[in-house]
Amino acid sequence: MFSICVIVVILDGFDTAAIGYIAPSLVTEWHIAKPDLAPVLSAALFGLAFGALLAGPLADRLGRKRVLIGAILLMGIACLLAASAANLTTLTVWRLLTGLGLGAAMPNAVTLMSEYCPVRIRALMLNAMFCGFPLGASFGGFLAAWMIPHYGWRSVLVLGGVAPIVLTFVALFALPESVRYMVVHNYPAERIRAILGRISDSFSQAAAFILHEPDAAGQQSRKRGPALILSRPFIVGTLMLWIAYFMGLVIFYGLINWLPLLLKDTGLSAQRATLISALFPLGGIGAIFAGWLMDRYNATLIVALTYFLTALAVYLIGQTAGAMLILAVFVAGVIMNTAQTSLPALAAAFYPTRGRASGVSWMLGMGRFGGIAGSFLVAELARREMALPDIFLVVATPALLAAAALVVKQFVHPHVEAPSVARDLAAH
């Protein structure tokens, strides 16, 4: 399960970032101005937002596995069709549909993993899985730098479409449904035993399964999906998670989509600018260490601290050049992606099973609008011909707002326990 979900997230990162890496080729081939790229750069982000908002409630109603497999298939088909686009308008439409699949896939992968992870290493496992997103985005940069000169920019999208289609068939047969979801929705005990039997023989004689899972107020909630995550016990934490993820993606997508072009304007070649930019999402490997810390200390405050450090690191990118620029981009990527990839684990721990898919996916969905804002923000700063140091000063500011939001969440919800299957699931 971990391997399949990691591949889902890697492909999500690859397909999301691919448009930024082929942007210089689009400018050259189609003879368009850089500001004209804003719609196509943001199209997938709109799809990501709406895909996530729709997928959470659907997964809480229909199951995590069904929605996840449908999302993977959609992203693969749409990305393949994007490779055949003959103009900017057509490419924008196919990127929008690709985004719908991407937006639905990632939150369900996170939710499914969170509902199987042992609680003692839960944040570590989720962060290790979720850091596949920046790794996929970074891999896309290195691959694009090699593929585009040899096979053209369309080859990047072809690869981004074929891989998810292959993964769809693997997941269809190898991926189990969430046991927590099955218990909540009163699936037959023999179906639940069949899945748990792959983990332990101790469930072989169980005739029934019951889930005991209190909400943020310590009560057993009857609400499900969006009604639960927007209810009084959860509303403040929900809003603070939305704000933090929104602000983080303002930075992430602003730099993913525009960093190659910004660096190219400083005199670097297109290939070198792409390679340096690819170091930024590569920094997501730092999330594994953050997950280890989150399992042992106050997870909310640890993530808040990483956002504060993100503000400093992103600002320093605009103050460096040469070899120090390469180091600054990598360090900023490590800290930024550590903060951002830790939030899904934080959200999964905050919500109970009846609303976990909605809680995680709506946080990701609302945050995607931050990605849209980040793309247009940097486009506007570039249009005004703002100096590079000033651009990075502006882009660093949202990280401070994300840190403040998480401090508020900690103040309002100081004692939220992560869900434990061993504690909550009783077999009889």
Comparing 400 with 382, the larger pLDDT belongs to 400
Backbone phi and psi for residue 33, each to the nearest 5 degrees, phi listed first: -80, 155
Three-class SS of 352-407: CHHHHHHHHHHHHHHHHHHHHHHHHHHHHHHHCCCCHHHHHHHHHHHHHHHHHHHH
Is residue 2 scored above 50 in pLDDT?
yes
Comparing 352 with 163, the larger pLDDT belongs to 163
Please report, as a single letter, which amino acid is at residue 380.
E
What's the helix, strand, coil split of the chain in %, to 5?
80, 0, 20
DSSP letter for each residue of 250-316: HHHHHHHHHHHHHHHTTT--HHHHHHHHTHHHHGGGHHHHHHHHHTTS-HHHHHHHHHHHHHHHHHH
Residues 6+ apart with CB under 8 A from 253: 45, 370, 371, 372, 374, 375
- The Cα 311–Cα 289 span in angstroms is 19
- The Cα 398–Cα 322 span in angstroms is 26
Q: For residue 318, what pLDDT is reported?
A: 75
Q: For residue 271, what pLDDT is reported?
A: 65
The residue ranges of every structural domain in the chain are 2-427
Confidence of residue 179 (pLDDT cuts 50, 70, 90): confident
Q: For residue 83, what pLDDT is reported?
A: 85
- The Cα 367–Cα 337 span in angstroms is 14
Is residue 141 scored above 60 in pLDDT?
yes
Query: Nearest-5° angle of CA 140, CA 304, CA 254?
Result: 35
Is residue 218 scored above 50 in pLDDT?
no
Q: For residue 57, what pLDDT is reported?
A: 83
Residues 6+ apart with CB under 8 A from 265: none
- The Cα 36–Cα 71 span in angstroms is 29
Is residue 239 scored above 90 in pLDDT?
yes
Of 147-151, 270-274, 303-307, the poorest mean pLDDT is in 270-274
Rg from Cα positions in the chain? 21
- The Cα 51–Cα 364 span in angstroms is 10
- The Cα 385–Cα 189 span in angstroms is 64
Confidence of residue 266 (pLDDT cuts 50, 70, 90): low
Is residue 219 scored above 50 in pLDDT?
no
Confidence of residue 375 (pLDDT cuts 50, 70, 90): confident
- The structure tokens 């969430």 sit at 178
Comparing 385 with 242, the larger pLDDT belongs to 242
Cβ 157 vs Cβ 82: under 8 Å: yes
pLDDT in tens, 188-202: 888 888 888 888 777
Is residue 216 scored above 60 in pLDDT?
no
Backbone phi and psi for residue 296, each to the nearest 5 degrees, phi listed first: -115, -25
- 115-124, 358-367, 370-379, 400-409: which is most confident: 400-409
Q: For residue 281, what pLDDT is reported?
A: 64
Confidence of residue 285 (pLDDT cuts 50, 70, 90): low
Is residue 221 scored above 60 in pLDDT?
no
Distance of CA 226 to the CA centre of its chain: 20
Work out the mean pLDDT of the chain and round it to a whole number: 80
Q: For residue 68, what pLDDT is reported?
A: 92
Mean pLDDT of 378-400: 81
Q: Pairing mode, if any, of strands 209-211 and 425-427?
A: antiparallel
Percent of the chain past pLDDT 90, that is, above it, reads 12
* Range 2-427: architecture per CATH: Up-down Bundle (1.20)
Cβ 60 vs Cβ 9: under 8 Å: no
Q: For residue 422, what pLDDT is reported?
A: 42
Q: For residue 406, what pLDDT is reported?
A: 94
Q: For residue 419, what pLDDT is reported?
A: 45
**For residue 112, how many C-alpha atoms fall within 13 Å in the half-sphere facing its CB?**
29
Comparing 366 with 274, the larger pLDDT belongs to 366
